[in-house]
């Protein structure tokens, strides 16, 4: 069975996975990919394969249609977020799709906490200064006693909350779907955007849905406390980047850290690059040796099941 792999973390691990996949009768192929392949590229590639393990690539109606006209029998979305997958289209064409939920809670939370601490103490700015020959000493802020608004209280959000609480921060969580969690009773629950004006930090850790695209817009930003720091380890389209640029320029937002962007990789023309207090990631929050191995093993198991179930 020929398998197309377009998820960058799994592609990087392919030399270690290939032997195990072949032992299952799965022959992997990985084209060059930086973050995602285009719909046009996928329409050409996907029909040539029996299975597909994807990352954040556009798994659209056109792609599934092309896959069904070719050899495609099963698909697995590597990772947690599934906003890029048209499950209805997959069902229409009878293509089973699985994913790997419950992964990366600790890994993404570690990155989120590093960003929170980095923005509080301006460690990234110091690093840039020292590398450039300066010896900067910006005065930071203490985390203890500060309020963090946490958007998303699923597996990742709860892991972030535990780290924020360990830093003696107060946490307000926004998630209409999530229930209470033992051991996190001190987390206040609010309906978005209630009390957002009290937050010293805003941390985004929720799934992207049609309803929350640009949930951080000019209206919400205008309500926020001057000097707020924003961290996004979820999805880029949660933030209206044009509105955030205006808020950064005015000083309303002190600084921001992004593991994700509206367009990835971040375009060179992006105005976010103008602000030295912005910290940029490369959609890499889940990428540890252990987590990638675990998620990849699970993706292979799922795909093997799909292809076996659908084998003539």
Residue with tokens 């699970």: 298
Report the SS3 class of residue 298: helix
Rounded CA-CA distance 37/159 in Å is 31
Peptide bond into 265 cis (omega under 30): yes
User: What residues does 231 pair with on adjacent strands?
Assistant: 203, 257
Q: Which of 163, 235, 254, 298 is catalytic?
A: 235
Partners of 230 in beta bridges: 202, 256
Closest CA to 295 of 37, 157, 32, 101: 101
Is 283 labeled as catalytic in the residue annotation?
yes
For residue 245, what is the enclosing H or E element? helix 241-250
CB neighbours of residue 72 within 10 Å: 23
- Is the N-terminal amide bond of 38 cis, ω within 30° of 0? no
Distance of alpha carbon 173 from alpha carbon 153, whole angstroms = 6
Which is nearest to 246 in space by CA: 279, 213, 281, 275?
275
Distance, CA of 24 to CA of 214 (rounded, Å):
43
Determine whether 44 is an active site residue.
Answer: no
Q: Count Cα atoms within 13 angstroms, Cβ side, for 233.
A: 28
Pull the structure tokens for residue 296: 């990849």
Among 99, 125, 283, 298, the one annotated catalytic = 283
Whether 235 sits among the annotated catalytic residues: the reply is yes
What DSSP letter does each residue of 107-165 carry, written as one string? Answer: HHHHHHHHHHHHHHHTHHHHHHHHHTT----------TT-EEEEE--SHHHHHHHHHHH
For the annotated catalytic residues, the residue numbers are 235, 264, 283
């Amino acid at each position: 069975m020929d398998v197309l792999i377009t998820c960058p973390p799994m592609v990087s691990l392919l030399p270690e996975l290939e032997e195990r996949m072949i032992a299952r009768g799965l022959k992997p192929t990985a084209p060059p990919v930086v973050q995602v392949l285009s719909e046009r590229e996928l329409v050409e590639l996907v029909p040539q394969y029996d299975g597909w393990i994807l990352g954040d690539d556009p798994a659209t109606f056109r792609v599934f249609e092309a896959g069904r006209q070719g050899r495609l029998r099963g698909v697995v979305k590597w990772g947690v977020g599934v906003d890029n997958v048209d499950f209805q289209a997959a069902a229409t064409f009878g293509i089973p799709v699985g994913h790997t939920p419950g992964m990366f809670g600790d890994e993404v939370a570690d990155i989120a906490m590093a960003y929170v601490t980095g923005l509080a103490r301006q460690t990234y700015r110091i690093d840039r200064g020292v590398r450039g020959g300066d010896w900067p000493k910006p005065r930071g802020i203490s985390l203890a006693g500060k309020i963090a608004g946490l958007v998303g209280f699923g597996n990742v959000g709860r892991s972030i909350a535990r780290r924020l609480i360990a830093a003696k921060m107060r946490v307000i969580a926004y998630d209409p779907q999530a229930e209470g969690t033992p051991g996190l009773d001190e987390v206040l629950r609010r309906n978005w955007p209630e009390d957002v004006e009290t937050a010293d930090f805003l941390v985004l850790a929720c799934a992207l849905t049609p309803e929350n695209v640009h949930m951080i817009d000019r209206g919400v930003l205008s309500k926020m406390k001057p000097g707020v720091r924003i961290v996004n380890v979820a999805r880029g389209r949660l933030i209206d980047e044009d509105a955030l640029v205006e808020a950064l320029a005015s000083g309303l937002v002190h600084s921001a850290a992004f593991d994700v962007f509206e367009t990835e990789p971040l375009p060179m023309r992006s105005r976010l690059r103008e602000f030295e207090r912005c910290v940029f990631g490369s959609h890499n929050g889940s990428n540890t040796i252990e987590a990638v191995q675990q998620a990849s093993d699970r993706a292979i198991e799922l795909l093997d099941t799909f292809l076996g179930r659908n084998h003539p």
